[in-house]
Amino acid sequence: MRRLTQLLLWVGLSLPAHAIADVAAPLDGARMAFVLEDVARIPAVRVTRSARLSTLVSAPDGSHRLFVVDLDGAIMIIENGKVSPKPFLDIAKLRRARFLGKQGEEGLISVAFHPDFAHPGRPGFGKLYTFSTEAADASTPALPTRVGVPSHHHDVVIEWSVGLDDASVVDPGSAREVLRIVHPTDGHMAGHVAFNPTATQGDADYGMLYVSVGDGANTVDDRGIVDDWRLAQDKRVPLGKILRIDPLQRADKRYAIPPDNPFVGNPEALPEIWAYGLRNPQRFSWDTEGEHRMLIADIGQKQVEEINIGRRGANYGWGEREGIWMVTRADENVRGALAVDDTAAGFTPPALMYGHKVGIAITGGYVYRGKAIPALRGYYVFGDIASGRIFAADVAALVDGKPPPFFELPLEHRGQRQSLLQIVKGDRADLRFGLDDAGELYVLSKRDGTVRRLARSVATETPIHPVEPPIER
Q: What is the pLDDT of residues 106-135, one digit of tens each?
A: 999 999 999 999 999 999 999 999 999 999
Q: pTM of this prediction?
A: 0.94
pLDDT digits (tens, 9 = 90+) for 243-276: 999 999 988 899 999 999 999 999 999 999 999 9
Q: What does the pLDDT average to over 415-428? A: 95
- CA atoms 80, 85, 86, 87: torsion sign: positive
Q: Look at residue 441 in the predicted model and tell me its pLDDT.
A: 98
Q: Look at residue 415 in the predicted model and tell me its pLDDT.
A: 96
The span from the CA of 54 to the CA of 423, in Å, is 17
Query: In this model, does residue 3 exceed pLDDT 70?
Result: no
Phi, psi of 344 (to 5 degrees): -65, -30
The span from the CA of 317 to the CA of 276, in Å, is 8
Pair 160, 175: CB distance under 8 Å: yes
In order of 107, 205, 398, the CA distances from 133 in angstroms are 5, 26, 33
Q: What does the pLDDT average to over 347-352? A: 98
Q: What does the pLDDT average to over 300-323? A: 97
- The SS3 of residue 470 is coil
Q: Confidence class of residue 2 from pLDDT cuts 50, 70 and 90?
A: very low
pLDDT digits (tens, 9 = 90+) for 404-415: 999 999 999 999
Q: Look at residue 406 in the predicted model and tell me its pLDDT.
A: 97
Q: Confidence class of residue 153 from pLDDT cuts 50, 70 and 90?
A: very high
Query: In this model, does residue 13 exceed pLDDT 60?
Result: no
**Yes or no: is domain 51-373 CATH 2.120.10.30?**
yes
Q: Look at residue 463 in the predicted model and tell me its pLDDT.
A: 97
Q: Are strands 89-90 and 74-79 parallel, antiparallel or unpaired?
A: antiparallel
Q: Look at residue 8 in the predicted model and tell me its pLDDT.
A: 40
Q: Confidence class of residue 25 from pLDDT cuts 50, 70 and 90?
A: low
Query: In this model, does residue 201 exceed pLDDT 80?
Result: yes
Where do the structural domains in the chain lie, given as residue ranges?
Answer: 51-373
